[in-house]
Amino acid sequence: MTEVPTIAVVDSVSKRFVIRRDNSLKERLVTLGRLGRRHREEFWALRDVSISIPAGTTVGLIGHNGSGKSTLLKVIGGIIDPTSGSVKRRGRIAALLELGAGFHPDLTGRENVYLNASILGLSRTETDERFDDILAFAGIGDFIDTQVKFYSSGMYVRLAFAVAVHTDPDLLLVDEVLSVGDEAFQRKCLDKIRSFQAEGRTIILVSHSLGQVSEMCDHVVLLNKGNVEFEGDPVEAVARFRDLLEDQRLEDASVAPPAPETLGRVRAATAGPVDGKPGDPVAPGSDLRITVDLTHQAVMTDWVCAIQIDTALGHATYGTTSKRLGAELTPLSGDRRVEFILKDVQFGTGKYFVNVSLMDSIGRHIHDRPQSCAFDVPDYDLAVGIVHAVPEFRDLGER
């Protein structure tokens, strides 16, 4: 078999930024010399990162905010230089890194098209030949002859993406900018990216949409505090990232200031399969047990316990209450443990969070505990989404 060529190699790259606390010129003169070190702080955005990107692959970069994703993308694109290490790249590179990058605000859209195209290596004749296609893809009409400083954020992205994808790049770098456009334009961009994939072009994508990363990428790099935490299969990378997010959530919760004292509280909750233990994966078709610990300092005669299950993006997928289920509850006084059993659950692949509330009988919230606990649903090769269903396909022939 023919070996696939490598289009970019990142070798032991580290990147350091210096954050200054003395912002004005007067402050810098006062703190000049050794004292100035007290007013500077070093931040390592990347630490000894090494990855190799074969031609024709789509690579996703995921991680926390501040994990180094955008910095790595800019280093690969040659926008910034690494503090140490090296990057080797080949072919024409088109980058969509941040809103308006590469546009001159005082030039019109038309003038910026020619400017950007020339920077990306196209001749004037080549740009002339592709201009109508660029304008049609961007869909901004007569605004093409308006100064771009008057453009909306969506118009910026439309024109920038249109230019980038019509310059025949060998390597396309995309940093979350597609989230700015409307849904119709996002679909158009994703369709264009898929056509690039079919043509064998290489794409490096930074996205917070984990479903999009799992669906579109052949390979994923998970960054954590500037280090490569994992590199490989997209499904496993997303699962590991969700675990990191949960660890971060628990760490943040542990240092958060205590909530104001109330008579009643949701103390804790756990989730897991009925035939397993809390924290075990919940496979479709199994029964899910959610156990809730409550407490109330006085006697509360009419009370309700409620749960809501959200996706990792915060979208509500399921909710119920003890009142809806017709539960006859004895007065709540002191500590109490209750549980919900959800039969034959059919959640799609991913991580889900359980929010728990203690309410009175007319629906007033006594205490809420957002994201009290979480559970994972294993990967399912045949489908994606938040609902599990076993698919079948039949070819019914010509009609």
State residue 218 phi and psi, 5-degree precision: -85, -25
pLDDT band per the 50, 70, 90 thresholds, residue 79: confident
Among 80-84, 151-155, 331-335, 361-365, name the one with the lowest average pLDDT. Answer: 151-155
255 vs 305, more confident: 305
Mean pLDDT on 351-369: 91
- Is the residue at 399 inside a domain? no
- Is the residue at 13 inside a domain? no
- Is the residue at 348 inside a domain? yes
Identify the pLDDT of residue 345: 97
Identify the pLDDT of residue 181: 63
- Is the residue at 138 inside a domain? no
359: tokens are 């309410």
For residue 204, pLDDT beyond 90: yes
Please count the structural domains in the chain: 1
- Is the residue at 300 inside a domain? yes
Among 43-57, 243-257, 381-395, name the one with the lowest average pLDDT. Answer: 243-257
Among 54-68, 148-162, 305-319, name the one with the lowest average pLDDT. Answer: 148-162
Mean pLDDT on 36-55: 83
Q: What confidence tens digit (pLDDT) does each residue in 7-23 have?
A: 999 999 999 988 766 56
CB 313 within 8 A of CB 179: no
pLDDT band per the 50, 70, 90 thresholds, residue 260: low
Identify the pLDDT of residue 22: 57
Q: pTM higher than 0.75, yes or no?
A: no
- Rounded CA-CA distance 317/356 in Å is 14
Q: Which residues on neighbouring strands pair with residue 20, listed in sequence order? A: 40
Q: What confidence tens digit (pLDDT) does each residue in 171-197 have?
A: 988 887 666 667 777 788 888 888 988
Identify the pLDDT of residue 312: 81
For residue 353, pLDDT beyond 50: yes
Identify the pLDDT of residue 283: 96
Hey, what amino acid is at 63? Answer: G
Concatenate the DSSP letters of all residues of 132-183 into one string.
HHHHHHHT-GGGGGSBGGG--HHHHHHHHHHHHHTS--SEEEEESGGGSS-H
What is the CATH classification number for the domain harbouring 339?
Answer: 2.70.50.60
Q: What confidence tens digit (pLDDT) does each residue in 101-117 have?
A: 668 889 999 999 998 88
- Is the residue at 297 inside a domain? yes
Identify the pLDDT of residue 231: 93
Q: DSSP assignment, residue 35? A: G
Alpha-carbon torsion angle 205, 211, 181, 315, nearest 10: -140
Q: What is the CA radius of gyration of the chain?
A: 26
State which residues form the domain around 316. Answer: 260-377
Q: Give percent of the chain above pLDDT 90.
A: 48
Mean pLDDT on 218-230: 93
Q: How many CB atoms lie within 10 A of CB 25?
A: 8
CB 365 within 8 A of CB 354: no
State residue 242 phi and psi, 5-degree precision: -65, -35
pLDDT band per the 50, 70, 90 thresholds, residue 313: confident
Identify the pLDDT of residue 1: 42
For residue 386, pLDDT beyond 70: yes
> Counting beta carbons within 10 angstroms of the beta carbon of residue 256, is it exposed (0 to 12), middle (13 to 18) or buried (19 or more)?
exposed
Identify the pLDDT of residue 180: 62
- Is the residue at 83 inside a domain? no
For residue 259, pLDDT beyond 60: no
Computed over every residue of the chain, the mean pLDDT equals 86
Hey, what amino acid is at 323? Answer: K
- C-alpha distances out from residue 204 to 51, 76, 110, 207, Å: 12, 9, 27, 10
For residue 169, pLDDT beyond 90: no
- Is the residue at 328 inside a domain? yes
